[in-house]
Amino acid sequence: MADLVFTDSNFDEQVLKSKITVLVDFWAPWCGPCRMVSPIVEELAQEYAGKLLVGKLNVDENPQTASKYSVMSIPSLIIFKNGEPVKTMVGAQGKENYKREIEQILEQ
């Protein structure tokens, strides 16, 4: 599940040092499109359990990490592989588009 909550303090340990690929949903509670994407992120977390770690990072509460990865618009979903950001998807998108991008990264 996307019950994982990433923060400025745990980001390095949970995302950058992760042995598996990580999808981070950069969001904020006041963001309407973020709320639209949230159920899709939950579904992706279930579908890719064991292959992909999925979590959320509140940009208001964790500005340091959001700034480090140049998150200017939310929602922004960034896929990290081997501690590096390899794909950034900005704005609300359909589930199939997210799945296509995830599959491409997982196949590499």
pLDDT in tens, 73-98: 999 999 999 999 999 999 999 999 99
Q: Assess if CATH 3.40.30.10 describes domain 4-107.
A: yes
pLDDT of residue 87: 97
pLDDT of residue 1: 43
Catalytic annotation, pick one of 23, 34, 45, 54: 34
Catalytic annotation, pick one of 22, 31, 37, 74: 31
Residue 34 known to be catalytic: yes
pLDDT of residue 3: 73
Whole-Å CA distances, 72 to 24, 61, 67, 96 = 15, 15, 8, 24
Residue 73 known to be catalytic: no
Q: Three-class SS string for the chain?
A: CCCEECCCCCHHHHHHCCCCEEEEEEECCCCHHHHHHHHHHHHHHHHCCCCEEEEEEECCCCHHHHHHCCCCCCCEEEEEECCEEEEEEECCCCHHHHHHHHHHHHHC
Parts of the chain with a pLDDT under 50: 1
